[in-house]
C-alpha cells in the first residue's frame, strides 16, 4: 500500500487507467457483497459438508458450518475489499481482490444452498478435476500454438477429432491403441493447421474455423453413416481410475488428485513439463521469441517456419489426447458434436490463464468447478433455476476477462503470418 504514491509519480498515465479499472472493479465487488446479503442472507440452519466416505481408509469428520453468520462474514469481507479498491485504487491488488471476491461469492452460495442439508464436498472436487481436464488440455494446446503466434480456433475441432478417433480406434485396437491414434490424429490436424497458415498463409482464424467445420462434418457424417449400422465400431473400452497407493488415501486431496484416470495424471504431468519447457529451456525461449518477434528470431538463426510447425503439431497432439477423454475417459462412445463447445471454453481458459500452462489449468479448474457444482446442486433442490446456475461460469468469465485484461497480454506477433524475406 505504501508503494502506491511512488508508482503514481513514476507512471501517471498507466496509473489513471489502472485506478479507473480498480474503481470499476471495486464497484462491482460492492455490488457483489450486496447481492450476497440480499440473495443468500435468508439461509437458515447448518450446512454440512461431507469430506470422507465411510469406506475410506482415513475417515475425517464432516465440516459443519452455521450458514447465516458465515454468509454475512463473506459479504462483509467482499464489501471491505471492494471499498478499499474503490477508495484507494488497487494497483496489483485489483486482480487478487476480484478473485477473492468471486471465491467468497461461491462460498456464500454453497453455504446458502447447503444450509440445513448435507453435501459431499470431496465428491464435487473430484468431479471438478475430471471435468476440467479436456478444457485444461485444450487450453494447453492453444498455449503451445499461441506462444509461437498461431491463433488456434481449431481446438474445438481437434478435441472432436480426438474423441472420434479414440472411439473408433479404441473399439478396434483397444484403449491404448485408441489413445495413441487420437494423439496422432490430433497432431495431424495440428500439422494441417500449420501447413495452411504457415506455408499457404491462410488467415489463421479462417483456417481454424475451417478445421472445426471439417471435423464436425466428417465425424458427424461417419457417425451417422457408419456407426449407426456398425455399433461395434463405436464401443471403446474406458480407462478406469487408478488409485495411487498411500497418496490416494489422503482425505479430500487423495480422491481429487490421486484416484483418477490417466487423463488427469497425463494432463497434470503435461502442464508441469510444458511450463518447464516453455520458460526454462533454450528451445522454449526460442519458441516464445518466435511468438513475440519472429523477424528478430529469424535474424538470430531460429527457423521460424519449422518452430511453428513443430509447436502447432505438438499442440494438436495435446488436443487429440484431451479429445480422447470424451470417449476413452468417460463413456467409450462417440456422439455427434460431443465436445459441445468445450474447445472454445478452452480458448477462454487460455486467455483467462494469461497464455501460461499453469494459469490455463487453474482457469480450467474454475470451469470444471462450476460445471460440477451445477450438477451436484441439482440434488439439493435450490430455488434457482438450473439454467442460471449453468450460466454462472460464463458470466464469471466475462467479468474476469473484463477485469483482468490489463494484465493479460497475448504474444506480440499472435495471429500474424510471417513472410521470410
Partner 1 sequence: MSTQDAINTATRKLLERAAPGRVAFEDLVVVPLFAILVALILGALTMLATNVDLATIGRSYVALLQGSVGSLNALSETLTAAAPLILAGLGLALGFRAGLFNIGAEGQILIGGMAAVICGFSVPGLPFAILLPLCLIAGGVVGAAYASIAGVLRATTGANEVISTIMLNMIAFRLVDYMLRLPWVQRPGRSDPVSQSVPPSAELPRLLDWIDPNLRVHAGIFVTLLAVAFVYWLLFRSKLGFEFRASGASPSAARYAGMRAGLVIVLAMATAGALAGLAGANQVLGVLGRASPGFSAGIGFDAIAVALLGRSHPVGVLFAGLLFGALEAGGRQMQVDAGVSIDLIGIIQALIIVFIAAPLLVRAIFPWGFRRGDSGGAS
Task: Tell me which residues touch partner 1 (CB under 8 A).
Answer: 21, 24, 196, 199-203, 205-207, 209-211, 213-214, 216-218, 220-222, 224-226, 336, 341, 344-345, 347-348, 351-352, 385, 387-388, 390-391, 394-395, 397-398, 401-403, 405-406
In the sheet that holds 117-120, the strands lie side by side as 63-66, 46-50, 117-120
**Helix or strand holding residue 49 (H, E):** strand 46-50
Distances (CA, A) of 252 to 52, 247, 363: 7, 11, 20
358 closest CA partner among 277, 281, 251: 277
Torsion angle of the four alpha carbons 98, 102, 104, 110, in this order, in degrees rounded to the nearest 10: 180
Cell representation of residue 69? 453468520
CB 154 within 8 A of CB 212: yes
Cβ count near 242 (within 10 Å) = 13
**Helix or strand holding residue 390 (H, E):** helix 386-404
**CB of 393 vs partner 1, minimal distance in Å:** 8
**Helix or strand holding residue 64 (H, E):** strand 63-66
Cβ count near 244 (within 10 Å) = 14
d(CA 163, CA 218): 13
d(CA 322, CA 329): 9
Choose between 247 and 401: whose C-beta lies nearer to partner 1: 401
The alpha carbon of residue 336 and the mean position of all alpha carbons in its chain are separated, in whole angstroms, by 23
CB 71 within 8 A of CB 111: yes
**CB of 233 vs partner 1, minimal distance in Å:** 11
**CB of 348 vs partner 1, minimal distance in Å:** 5
Choose between 67 and 137: whose C-beta lies nearer to partner 1: 137
161 closest CA partner among 140, 134, 136: 134
**CB of 279 vs partner 1, minimal distance in Å:** 23
**CB of 335 vs partner 1, minimal distance in Å:** 13
**CB of 189 vs partner 1, minimal distance in Å:** 12
Instruction: Determine the 3-state secondary structure of 127 from DSSP.
Output: helix
Choose between 197 and 290: whose C-beta lies nearer to partner 1: 197
Amino acid at each position: 500500500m505504501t508503494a502506491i504514491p511512488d508508482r503514481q509519480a513514476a507512471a501517471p498515465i498507466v496509473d489513471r487507467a489502472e485506478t479507473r479499472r480498480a474503481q470499476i472493479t471495486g464497484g462491482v465487488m460492492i455490488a457483489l457483497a450486496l447481492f450476497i446479503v440480499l440473495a443468500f442472507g435468508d439461509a437458515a440452519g447448518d450446512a454440512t459438508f461431507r469430506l470422507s466416505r465411510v469406506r475410506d481408509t482415513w475417515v475425517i469428520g464432516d465440516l459443519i458450518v452455521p450458514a447465516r453468520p458465515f454468509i454475512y462474514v463473506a459479504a462483509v469481507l467482499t464489501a471491505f475489499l471492494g471499498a478499499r479498491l474503490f477508495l484507494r485504487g488497487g494497483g496489483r491488488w485489483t486482480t487478487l481482490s476480484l478473485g477473492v471476491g468471486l471465491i467468497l461469492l461461491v462460498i456464500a452460495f454453497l453455504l446458502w444452498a447447503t444450509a440445513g442439508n448435507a453435501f459431499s464436498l470431496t465428491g464435487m472436487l473430484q468431479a471438478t478435476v475430471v471435468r476440467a481436464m479436456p478444457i485444461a488440455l485444450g487450453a494447453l494446446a492453444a498455449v503451445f500454438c499461441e506462444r509461437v503466434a498461431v491463433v488456434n480456433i481449431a481446438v474445438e475441432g481437434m478435441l472432436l477429432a480426438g474423441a472420434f478417433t479414440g472411439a473408433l480406434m479404441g473399439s478396434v485396437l483397444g484403449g491404448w491403441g485408441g489413445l495413441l491414434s487420437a494423439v496422432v490424429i490430433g497432431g495431424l490436424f495440428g500439422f494441417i493447421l500449420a501447413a495452411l497458415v504457415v506455408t499457404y498463409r491462410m488467415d489463421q482464424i479462417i483456417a481454424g474455423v475451417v478445421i472445426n467445420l471439417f471435423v464436425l462434418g466428417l465425424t458427424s457424417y461417419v457417425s451417422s453413416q457408419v456407426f449407426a449400422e456398425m455399433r461395434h465400431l463405436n464401443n471403446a473400452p474406458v480407462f478406469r481410475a487408478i488409485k495411487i497407493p498411500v497418496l490416494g488415501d489422503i482425505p479430500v486431496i487423495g480422491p481429487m488428485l490421486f484416484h483418477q484416470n490417466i487423463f488427469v495424471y497425463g494432463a497434470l504431468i503435461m502442464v508441469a513439463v510444458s511450463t518447464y519447457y516453455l520458460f526454462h529451456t533454450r528451445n522454449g525461449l526460442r519458441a516464445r521469441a518466435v511468438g513475440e518477434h519472429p523477424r528478430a528470431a529469424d535474424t538470430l538463426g531460429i527457423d521460424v517456419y519449422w518452430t511453428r510447425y513443430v509447436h502447432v503439431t505438438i499442440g494438436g497432439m495435446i488436443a487429440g489426447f484431451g479429445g480422447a477423454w470424451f470417449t476413452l475417459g468417460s463413456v467409450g462412445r462417440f456422439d455427434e458434436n460431443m465436445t459441445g463447445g468445450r474447445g472454445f471454453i478452452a480458448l477462454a481458459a487460455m486467455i483467462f490463464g494469461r497464455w501460461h500452462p499453469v494459469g490455463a489449468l487453474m482457469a480450467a479448474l474454475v470451469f470444471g468447478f462450476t460445471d460440477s457444482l451445477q450438477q451436484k446442486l441439482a440434488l439439493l433442490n435450490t430455488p434457482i433455476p438450473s439454467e442460471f446456475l449453468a450460466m454462472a461460469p460464463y458470466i464469471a468469465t466475462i467479468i474476469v476477462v473484463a477485469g483482468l485484461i490489463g494484465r493479460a497480454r497475448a504474444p506480440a506477433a499472435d495471429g500474424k503470418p510471417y513472410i521470410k524475406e
